[in-house]
Amino acid sequence: MRDMLGREDVITVEKALELIFNNLTPIFPSETKPGIEASYNRILSRDILSPEDLPQFSRSTVDGFAVNSSDTFGAAEGLPSYLNLGGEIFMGEKPSFGIKGGTTAKIPTGGMLPDGADAVVMIENTNRIDERLIEIMRPVAPMENVIRAGEDIKEGEMILKKGHCIRPQDVAALAGLGITEVFVYERPAVSIISTGDEIVSARSEIKPGQIRDMNSFNLAGLISEAGGIPIMRGIFRDEFGDIKNAARESLKDSAMVLIIGGSSVGTRDVTEAVIKALGEPGVLFHGVAIKPGKPMIGGIISNKPVFGLPGHPAAIPICFEQFVKPTLRRLTGISGKGFRDKKIIIKARMVKNIASSMGREDHIRVRLEERNNEIWAIPILGKSGLIKTLVEADGIVVIPLRKLGVEQGEIVEVRLF
């Protein structure tokens, strides 16, 4: 594909990602071993096998009477079985006695079965005749109302695999097994290089002609959300040497480098020249059929991804979601189904016709509004240089390459920011 001015080939988003992935051999980050309380959302760097059975003893799942199930066979309301009460079992304690044929023991939910018992009759299906005699009005099968030793997790069983992203319930399982520290991957560091002779720090007073850096902050938040550690390298002048030095230094201690294009003449060429000068294979694509975000540059230097992002604020979250995030996720060591990498999607009706060009993915910022119990998407059509268009937006509607637009009233999927 050629862009509007016929200046350069632009490729599809799909093809761009393919180029990155085909030229990247993910290197797993180094390991660290936090306590499980600090392990939420981290990626396991080793398989976890259970060191023991869970539970370590057979437990009752109901309040009732522990029995040898064969003593209850044939029991019915009209024809109960009678068992002698051998004692009571207390929570958290090993029973001090076993039961033999014809005896039973009172047991609470979670209590440990005594020797000789293989099932529990629910209290509702029993009657206490006197201090010593219990009437059983329903038979139980072996293991009925019981969680057997090791039934939840067996010693030696694989609980969680290397590459798994730890969720709250996974930490619960680790705690249950007495595993209180786990090996996880370090989060990949991502350097952010801001460029532009007119850009000054957010903490600066500004003079006429200057604007403060915004895009680094947007990227830093997105990198954190995606499981990386953002390193804001600072703001550099639009000079080949300055940007090249900043990128080379960044490559030493980062897994990925992002260069945000300034907006002066030829900046894009500077970023491209820097990526080309720093190593092999260098620039893999420059220009993608996406709006906003067309001037996107993707490259790899010594197996580390380096992206050049356009400086228009509205292009930042689009380019991040499409190119940077999928690449970054590969560097975290995560494996598996990837469902959790998706974003929250809200269905909404578009309030007006939106035109889009064939051969270009259009990413439309929208605001969501509830009207008459329906959710409507209101497009925000301001210039992509305006940060307010992002602040006002709740999410993005994507109009695919081969679609000419969206009609008023059409149901669209809004990917929330």
Chosen residue from 23, 32, 109, 335 binding a second copy by CB under 8 A: 109
The strand pairing partners of 370, in sequence order, are 375
Q: Is 371 in the site for a second copy (CB under 8 A)?
A: no
Residue with tokens 């005699």, as numbered in its chain: 133
51 or 409, CB closer to a second copy?
Answer: 51
Q: d(Cα 276, Cα 270) in Å, to the nearest integer?
A: 10
Contact 17, 323 (CB under 8 A): yes
Q: How far lies 326's CA from each of 20, 94, 307, 334, 336, in Å?
A: 10, 52, 13, 11, 14
Task: Determine, following the binding rule CB under 8 A, whether residue 160 of this chain makes contact with a second copy.
Answer: yes
Total residues interacting with a second copy, rule: CB under 8 A = 101
State which H helix or E strand residue 398 sits in. strand 395-399
Q: In the bound complex, what is the minimum distance in angstroms from residue 239's beta carbon to a second copy? A: 12
* DSSP track, 35-71: BGGG-TT-BBSS-EE-SS-BSSS-EESSSEEEE-GGG
Which one among 25, 203, 253, 372 touches a second copy, defined by CB under 8 A?
203
CB of 301 to a second copy, least distance (A): 26
Question: Among 3, 8, 31, 152, which residue interacts with a second copy (rule: CB under 8 A)?
Answer: 152
- 273 part of the interface to a second copy, by CB under 8 A: no
Q: Does 196 bind a second copy (CB under 8 A)?
A: yes
Report 278-337 residues binding a second copy (CB under 8 A).
311, 313, 316-317, 337
Site string for a second copy, 111-150 (x = CB under 8 A): xx-----------x----------------------x---
Nearer to a second copy, 78 or 208 (CB): 208
Tell whether residue 259 is a contact of a second copy (CB under 8 A): no
Quick check: 18 binds a second copy (CB under 8 A)?
no
* Start-to-end Cα distance in the chain: 29
| 356 is an interface residue for a second copy by CB under 8 A | no
Strand extents, DSSP E, 237-357: 256-260, 281-286, 290-291, 297-301, 304-309, 345-350, 354-355
Among 16, 105, 173, 334, which residue sits at the site for a second copy (rule: CB under 8 A)?
Answer: 173
Query: Percent helix, strand, coil in the chain (nearest 5)?
Result: 20, 30, 45
Residue 388 DSSP SS3:
helix
Q: Which of 22, 25, 168, 402 binds a second copy (CB under 8 A)?
A: 168
DSSP type of residue 293 = -
Q: How far is the CB of 295 from a second copy (least distance, A)?
A: 11
